Structure 1
Amino acid sequence: MSQNDLTKIESFLAKHHVLTLATSDGLELSACNLFYAYDAKRVSFVVASSDDTTHIKNIFKNSSVAGTVVLETKTVGKIEGVQFRGEFSEVEDDKLKKLYFKTFPYALAMSPKLWQIKVDHFKLTDNTLGFGKKIIWQASFL
C-alpha cells in the first residue's frame, strides 16, 4: 500500500461522478446511486441525500457503508472499477460543502443535505494494467 496506489485510485475517481452505495440497518439491505465529489485530502466522498431515503434511515442505525464506482464497458481489457468501505456521516466541514457545490453548482438551488463517506478501504480493479490487476489501499488509522 503506497501513496502511489492511492493516487491511481483517485485518478480513476476523478474521471467519474456517480457511485453505488450499499447500506444496512442490520436486517435489511439497500443500494442506491449518488452523485459524488471526492476530496483527496480527507479521502472522502461528499454526497447529497435527504433523511427520508432508505439509505439515510439505514445509516442512522449503522453508519458503516460499502460501494462501488465503475467504468461501464463490455471490453474486458478496459474494465476498471473501485470498491470501497467507509463511515457515513453528516458533512460538518465547510470545505467539503464548497467542493460539492463547485462540482454540482445546480444543486445549490435545491439546498440539499450533504453527507461525507470517510473511506477506510479501497480496491481498484484495473484490467488496463493487466488482466485482473488489483490495487488495494487501507487507511493507516485502522
Structure 2
Amino acid sequence: MTPDPRIARFIEAHHVLTLATHADGLSHCCNLFYAYLPQRNAFVVTSSDKTLHAAHLRENPKVAASVVLETRTVGKVQGLQIRGTMRPPEAEEKAEIKKAYLHRFPYAAVMDLELWVLRPDYMKLTDNRLGFGKKIIWEAQNL
C-alpha cells in the first residue's frame, strides 16, 4: 500500500533523513542521503558496514527516522516521522535499488555502495501549511 500522495511528494522533495537505531542498550542517530522508490514504498541509503548504525541494524532492524524542512516560519513547518525495518536489499531487488540510488546521486558511482533498504510501516507527516499541527498518517496493513 502506498502512502498518501502528499507524503510521497514531501519525501521526493528532500534527500536526507535522520536515522535512529538502538541495540545493546545504546541509541544512535545519523544522517543519510536517500533515494525513495514509491513503487516499493522504500527508502534506499548507502552506509559502510563498519558504522555503529550498521552494527545496530544487524542486531535490531527496527528503526525510526525523520525527514524535515528546516524553517523558522511556523506556518511552513513540515516534517515526516517514520518507523520501520531496515536491512540490506534482497538479491532480486539489488539491481533496481542500486539504479535508483545512482540515478538520484550519480557521483556515488565511484563509491563502494553498501546499500540498505528502509521499509516503513508507519509514517506521519506534519504540515503546518494545511493548518497548525495538521497531521497526515499512513500505516501499513497487518502490523
SS across alignment from 2:4: helix
User: C-alpha displacement at 1:26, in angstroms?
Assistant: 4.0
1:75 corresponds in structure 2 to 73
1:96-115 to 2 correspondence within 5 Å? 96-115=97-116
CA deviations 1:69-120 (Å, max 9, x no partner) are 0000000000001000111010231211110011111101012101100111
2:50 corresponds in structure 1 to 52
Taking the aligned partners of 2:83 and 2:142, their CA distance within structure 1 comes to 14
Structure 1 letter corresponding to 2:115:
L
1:12 corresponds in structure 2 to 10
Number of positions where the alignment pairs a residue of Structure 1 with one of Structure 2: 140
TM-score computed with the length of structure 1 as normaliser: 0.95
2:124 corresponds in structure 1 to 123
Taking the aligned partners of 2:54 and 2:69, their CA distance within structure 1 comes to 26
User: C-alpha displacement at 1:141, in angstroms?
Assistant: 3.3
TM-score computed with the length of structure 2 as normaliser: 0.94
1:138 corresponds in structure 2 to 139
1:29 corresponds in structure 2 to 27
Show structure 1 runs of 5+ residues with no match.
none
User: C-alpha displacement at 1:6, in angstroms?
Assistant: 1.8
SS across alignment from 2:50: coil
Identity %: 50
CA deviations 1:31-86 (Å, max 9, x no partner) are 00000000111111000001110100001100000010000000000000100011
SS across alignment from 2:8: helix
Taking the aligned partners of 1:110 and 1:98, their CA distance within structure 2 comes to 14
Show structure 2 runs of 5+ residues with no match.
none
Contact 1:25/1:61 (CA < 8 Å) preserved in 2? Answer: yes
Q: Could you list the runs of 4 or more consecutive aligned residues of structure 1 that deviate by over 3 angstroms after TM superposition?
A: none
Contact 1:26/1:62 (CA < 8 Å) preserved in 2? Answer: no
Correspondence for 2:88 among 66, 69, 90: 90
